[in-house]
Amino acid sequence: MDHESWIADGTVLLDYADHIATLTLNRPESSNGMNIAMMRAIHEAVMRCHGDPRVRVVHLRGAGPNFCSGGDVREFASKGEALGDFLRTVTAYLQIAVGALIRLNAVVVSEVQGYAAGGGGLGLICASDIVVATKSARFMAGATRVGMAPDGGASVILPRLVGFRRAAEIVLTNRVVGAEEALAIGLINSVVPDEDLVRDARHLALKLASNAPRATAAAKRLLWSGIGLSVESCLPEEARTVAELSATADAREGLAAVLEKRAPVFTGD
């Protein structure tokens, strides 16, 4: 096995072996909550995969008990009234990474344990080609509960995956979707016992990496195009909406409520 460590430390790790690039979100102490450093690192890692023709599969995973809890609430809350300007940059990095994952010739296989929430968690899942999750995995949109809007491409892709009515309910109620339901509605591809996740995701990645690379890349491109996903054309409006809402008093209240573990009181300001 020809193993190379492309990014050995930091908020994202990237390793290569057997035509598979394993991209690991590496902030387990924060449930892989996305701060700006992590979003930059994800973009760098995805572009590294894009630039190496040996990569046939990108295996996306999160270190620790959770895949990704979404944005780093503490970092966002610390920006106060400057949050809107800050999130313009944050959202731009996330959307570039999402667009790059979709455009990769490589198949993106994600393994999910714990929570996949917010634009980071749910957005990355939506942008993946195949998703394997544990029985205990949980999915949540999460944005409107803190006075914001869905990002990471989820506002565009989620309705195509699960249907408009179901997507509207998931986004607007912010309820938690369990793994079995996620499988039933088409959000993920398979559910495995918790102890089998790493093994099964790796086996799937190896199987996909053994396929004809040009045919696989072409099939992926046709699948994304064939269901009418003009994702990238919709991302600027999604980003504008996220930045606009994050500049509101309700967004600051929503973040504070999460940190203080209380119900938010929204005023419409």
pLDDT per residue over 50-76, tens digit each?
A: 999 999 999 999 999 999 998 888 888
pLDDT for 57 equals 98
Give the pLDDT band (50/70/90) at residue 227. low
- pLDDT at site 71: 86
Average pLDDT over every residue of 161-189: 97
pLDDT for the residue numbered 246: 74
The whole-chain average pLDDT of the chain stands at 90
Best CA proximity match to 204, nearest among 8, 14, 20, 6: 20
pLDDT at residue 169 is higher than 70: yes
Q: What tokens were used for 241?
A: 């909406």
Mean pLDDT of 198-202: 97
Give yes or no for residue 41 having a pLDDT over 70. yes
DSSP class per residue in 43-107: HHHHHHHHT-TT--EEEEEESSS-SB-SB-HHHHHTTGGGHHHHHHHHHHHHHHHHHHHHH-SSE
- Distance between CA atoms of residues 223 and 229, nearest Å: 9
Cα–Cα distance, 5 to 16 (Å, whole number): 6
* 205 or 2: which leads in pLDDT: 205
Q: Phi then psi for 175, rounded to 5 degrees? A: -75, 155
Confidence bin at 151 (pLDDT 50/70/90) = confident
More confident residue, 246 or 93: 93
Lowest mean pLDDT among 46-50, 93-97, 186-190: 93-97
Query: Does residue 226 carry a pLDDT above 70?
Result: no
> Is pLDDT at 259 greater than 70 in this prediction?
yes
pTM of the model: 0.87
Distances (CA, A) of 20 to 26, 123, 140, 218: 18, 22, 28, 18
**Diameter of the chain measured on Cα atoms:** 58
Task: Find the range with the poorest average confidence among 13-27, 99-113, 143-157.
Answer: 143-157
Average pLDDT of 80-101? 84
Q: Taking residues 228-252, what's their average pLDDT?
A: 72
